[in-house]
Amino acid sequence: MDTEGEALADVAYGLFEVFLNKELRKQGQTSFELIENNTEFSAAFTEIFASFSADYPFLADALTDEYRSIDAIYLLFTEGEGIIPTKTTKIFWIFLDAPGYDPGCADAEKAGKWLIFLEPNQTDIIWKKIRNATAMGELGISAKVSTAKENSESRDERMVIYVYTRDWEEEEDVMRTRDVLRNLGVTDIIGYKRNIETFLGEYSEKGKKVTYYTA
CATH label of the domain that carries residue 165: 3.30.760.10
- In this structure, are 119 and 185 located in the same domain? yes
- In this structure, are 102 and 27 located in the same domain? no
Q: Would the pLDDT of 207 be above 60?
A: no
Q: Which of 125-134, 158-167, 198-207 has the lowest mean pLDDT?
A: 198-207
- In this structure, are 126 and 185 located in the same domain? yes
- In this structure, are 160 and 202 located in the same domain? yes
Provide the domain count of the chain.
Answer: 2
The reported pTM is 0.89
Q: How far is the C-alpha of 142 from the C-alpha of 103, rounded, in Å?
A: 9
CA trace torsion 40, 44, 49, 55 (10° rounding): -160
Please state the rounded mean pLDDT for residues 123-143.
96
- In this structure, are 77 and 131 located in the same domain? no
Burial class (CB in 10 A: 0-12, 13-18, 19+), 179: exposed
Of the candidates 61, 83, 105, which is a domain's last residue?
83
- In this structure, are 78 and 108 located in the same domain? no
Report if residue 116 sits inside a domain.
yes
Q: What is the pLDDT of residues 49-84, one digit of tens each?
A: 999 999 999 999 999 999 999 999 999 999 999 999
Residues 177/133, Cβ–Cβ less than 8 Å:
no
Please state the rounded mean pLDDT for residues 153-171.
90
Q: What is the pLDDT of residue 201?
A: 61
Residues 48/20, Cβ–Cβ less than 8 Å:
yes
Q: Give me the domain span that covers residue 39.
A: 4-83
Q: How far is the C-alpha of 162 from the C-alpha of 145, rounded, in Å?
A: 6
